[in-house]
Amino acid sequence: MIKPVGSDELQPLFVYDPDRHHELLHEAEELPSVVISSQAAGNAVMMGGGYFSPLRGFMKVADAIGAAQTMTTTDGLFFPVPVLCLLENVDALEGAERIALRDPNVEGNPVLAIMDVESIETVSDDQMALMTDRVYRTDDMEHPGVAAFNGQGRYAVSGPIQVLHFSYFQDDFPDTFRTAVEIRNEIAERGWSRIVAFQTRNPMHLAHEELCHMAMDRLGCDGLVIHMLLGKLKPGDIPAPVRDAAIRKMVELYFPPNSAMVTGYGFDMLYAGPREAVLHAYFRQNMGATHFIIGRDHAGVGDYYGAFDAQSIFDEEVPEGALEIEIFKADHTAWSNKLGKVVMMREAPDHTKEDFVLLSGTKVRQMLSEGVAPPKEFSRPEVARILMDYYQSLK
């Protein structure tokens, strides 16, 4: 199986030993504590599950700036984005060597992790601006990722962590949330050797389904991991339980047995386009995928990124040898009326726009909310039914 990034073995930060876990929870009740941001909580969950291996905790400011500028920390570790625990107030932490990090997304703010405090630093406006510009390629506060990153506070608390809970993800999505450790184990149990991963924060329509089949066929893969985001999205996005149901129905009906896994991970979307694409590839290698599909405007939002910036960054900016996972570079896929099947648009040069079945997201949402199924060339009817039921429930 493919090795994790930067090491021979995955290094999850979750405390699995039940006795030690109990001891730490008891200790946490006596420690100074702070409710962290949703973004920091997502980072802790990802470190707990081994997705961010070999990262040992939250970065110091110098390491975060290195990750933003060159995707490399001060000690040479490759990581494509800053992983910071930013707070608005640290008065309660003064002089503390160990602190409890509390979950902002669960009622009662239970302890999420314990940190050994290495430093508490003030992040300057210039440093925030530099990281924002390099990671998001814009300082526009209308960009949801920029707004979330800059809205956390200016005190960076850094140090290694021990993770004690997977926030609401494990409780709310017991059939879907999986750690990188669990996915690696299931890949081994299934006997897969070449595995392609597909990222989604949306339901999968026919074009997405066929893109996965194309990638598996062309790469000679014996397994597909559909890996959906379960964390916070932007307003208007379809909730995770609805996406989960729609995707599971598609896999049940249109993929051969033992060829596809439906899984999810706990993280807040950054909408950082190219940089987030590299992060996605990073943790897909850690979960055992040998290949990763990146299509048009991967992890983007609005018009902040070029259509294929998330592909070219791997050739132009990712340090050579940093990742072993291979990128399957895809174009927009759509049903061709000429050929009677889904194709990548760049592979049909004799087509005009009118030769494809293309529907905007706005148009699809309007149809679904009106109880009108999109054409079968766009969406499987069984998937459309689940989405129509959801939109009808909003009325």
10 Å CB burial of residue 96 (0-12, 13-18, 19+) is middle
Please measure the distance between the N-terminal and C-terminal CA atoms of the chain and give it in whole angstroms.
48
Give the separation between CA 74 and CA 78, rounded to whole angstroms.
10
Give the separation between CA 238 and CA 368, rounded to whole angstroms.
12
Residue pair 150/135 in contact by the 8 Å Cβ criterion: no
Structure tokens at 11: 């290094």
Structure tokens at 28: 């946490």
Phi then psi for 376, rounded to 5 degrees? Answer: -65, -20
DSSP assignments along 249-265, one per residue: HHHHHHS-TTSEEEEEE
H or E segment to which residue 87 belongs: strand 86-87
Q: Pick the closest to residue 238 from 252, 248, 228, 251 (CA basis).
A: 228
Residue pair 231/268 in contact by the 8 Å Cβ criterion: yes
Beta-sheet pairing, 98-102 with 33-35: parallel
H or E segment to which residue 157 belongs: strand 155-163
Q: Could you give the residue numbers annotated as active site?
A: 201-202
Give the separation between CA 382 and CA 253, rounded to whole angstroms.
9
Q: Which amino acid is at 214?
A: M
Q: Which residues of 115-144 are buried (b: 16+ CB within 10 A; e: fewer)?
A: bebeebbebeeebbeebbebbbbbeeeebb
